[in-house]
Amino acid sequence: MMNEVQFLTVEIGESVTLPYYPEGIRAGFPSPATDYEEESIDLNRELIRHREATFFARVKGDSMIDAGYMPGDLLVVDKSLDPKDGDVVVAYVDGGFTIKELDLSQRDKGIVWLVPHNEAYQRIKISEEQMGVIWGVVTYCIHKSFKK
């Protein structure tokens, strides 16, 4: 499925710091002896390395659902990174944007694959004959952990 990405405007203003617990939150039985020291974190500084080359997008469609990318998830995408084999990327192919895993195993033959993570979808072959552009590398996926 194409057009799986809805782009959003990046507006990075002043720093917004939120409470942060660097020791982590246990997923098992809590320890009363653990002393939690509260610090603060700025998500802009944490999630965005290259401000001018970063954009946000929202996942539409289900071709990457088996890799944990759900419809509605918020992606942080960095256009300045050099895409590597196995990266999840946003690509422009056949007139639409899509999010897929990048397979460079046949790059020496002039072929790049965009791999979905849902058996209902086929891999997309990008060769010298077919134009495709890697727009950026997904650096973070923010997934809502509850339903409305």
Instruction: Catalytic residue, from 63, 79, 105, 148: name it.
Output: 63
Is the CB of residue 98 less than 8 Å from the CB of residue 2? yes
The 3-class SS string of the chain reads CCCCEEEECCCCCCCCEEEECCCCCCCCCCCCCCCCCCEEEEHHHHHCCCHHHEEEEEECCCCCHHHCCCCCCEEEEECCCCCCCCCEEEEEECCEEEEEEEECCCHHHCCEEEECCCCCCCCEEECCCCCEEEEEEEEEEECCCCCC
Taking only the tens of pLDDT, the chain with its 148 residues reads: 454 666 655 555 666 665 555 666 566 665 655 555 567 666 677 677 877 788 888 999 999 999 999 999 989 889 999 999 999 999 988 888 999 999 999 988 888 999 999 999 999 998 776 677 889 999 999 888 776 6
Domains of the chain: 5-142 (2.10.109.10)
Listed in sequence order, the residues at least 6 apart from 63 whose beta carbon sits closer than 8 Å to its beta carbon are 1, 4, 98, 99, 100, 116, 117, 118, 120, 121
Q: Does the predicted TM-score (pTM) go above 0.85?
A: no
Instruction: Catalytic residue, from 31, 84, 100, 125: name it.
Output: 100
Listed in sequence order, the residues at least 6 apart from 121 whose beta carbon sits closer than 8 Å to its beta carbon are 1, 63
127 annotated active-site: no
40 annotated active-site: no
